[in-house]
A = this chain, B = another copy of it.
Amino acid sequence: MTTALPPVLHTARVSVDPLLRKAVGRLDPATQRICEYHFGWRNADGSPGRGGGKALRPAMVLLSAGCAEADVEQAVPAAAAVELVHNFSLLHDDVMDGDTARRHRPTAWTVFGRPGALLAGDALLALSGEVLLESGSPNAAAAARALAAATRTLIAGQAADLDFEHRREIGLDDCLQMAHDKTAILLGSASSIGALLVGAPTETVVRLHAFGTELGMAFQLVDDLLGLWGDPEVTGKPVLSDLRARKKSAPVVHALSSPAPAAGRLRALYDQPEPLTEAQVQQAAALVEEAGSAEWARTECDRRLGSALEYLPRGGGDTTQSLTELAEFIIRRTH
């Protein structure tokens, strides 16, 4: 992928990292080490790392505070809190899902063991409340409460995801609800909690939350498409990995429930007891295309992006522009 990163991501990383590092620095040495590895600040041997994620959520938090015409610095604790919740969920999901790679590195549990990775996730969740409540904002309690509620929804999404593995039949509605709970809700939080913390009017907070949630749905569809046809260089996962694992992502569920003849053939591949051969994985991908489900996902993604942008406060000037660019950047990851 050659798309340049929007500068707001770098700015957000620089703004939020000192507070994140300070928070993680309060943990016991063993848990701290695991968190530092997970964040990409250190390698497994303790040497300095190359850094981690793209700071997408912190950038959204800071921009949302900017939309409320506040000094974005005031929203840094909210940016750190959302990033902590996001990373709590990554650490735990990797253990539950048995995923062995993240951000092109071995996942924390494969390096430090499951108990350590679980405790590290627990610690990040506890810290998220602490950093927000220490912000000194009169709206800190409201922001922490909203973030805790979002975390509860995030957990519901992961519970649904685990449940889907054991279910033969999943409707597209279930699948989209899961995407909402597991992915979109935290982007909704990220894009509104900064405004909430700096005391923006309720209408602004609500609009920004809807913006982030719609964007989150688009974001998940992009992820689903990347899980099918993503460049391994970008995703860090083999091409078609979601099909290989017979994951029921939205495009796949769309294909399985389509009236096209491809649906039945895809169903047979998903139901067969043996692991899929490489030829069958390729065939499954072709069937998802044939059912029109890749096209559906791309169209739905664009529709969600359009809907998200409609929610942005009018006349927000530069900040609205930056949020728009950030949203478009996220979607450009694939098409």
Contacts and interface: CB of A to CB of B under 8 A. Distances in A.
B159 A30 contact: yes
A4 to B, nearest CB: 36
A125 to B, nearest CB: 6
A163 interface: yes
B162 A148 contact: no
A155 B95 contact: no
Majority SS at the chain A contact face? helix
How many copies altogether? 2
B141 A31 contact: no
Name which of A121, A155, A160 has the most chain B CB atoms within 10 A of its CB: A155
Contact of A159 (B28, B129, B148): B28
Interface string A139-172: 0111011001101100110111011000000000
Interface string A237-253: 00000000000000000
A118 B116 contact: no
Contacts of A144: 129, 133, 141, 144
B122 A125 contact: yes
A93 to B, nearest CB: 9
Nearest to A151: B126
A96 interface: yes
B155 A123 contact: yes
A119 interface: yes
A27 B149 CA distance: 10
A54 interface: no
A271 interface: no
Interface in A117-141: 118-119, 121-123, 125-127, 129-130, 133-134, 140-141
Interface of A: 26-28, 30-31, 88, 92, 95-96, 114-116, 118-119, 121-123, 125-127, 129-130, 133-134, 140-142, 144-145, 148-149, 151-152, 155-156, 158-160, 162-163, 181
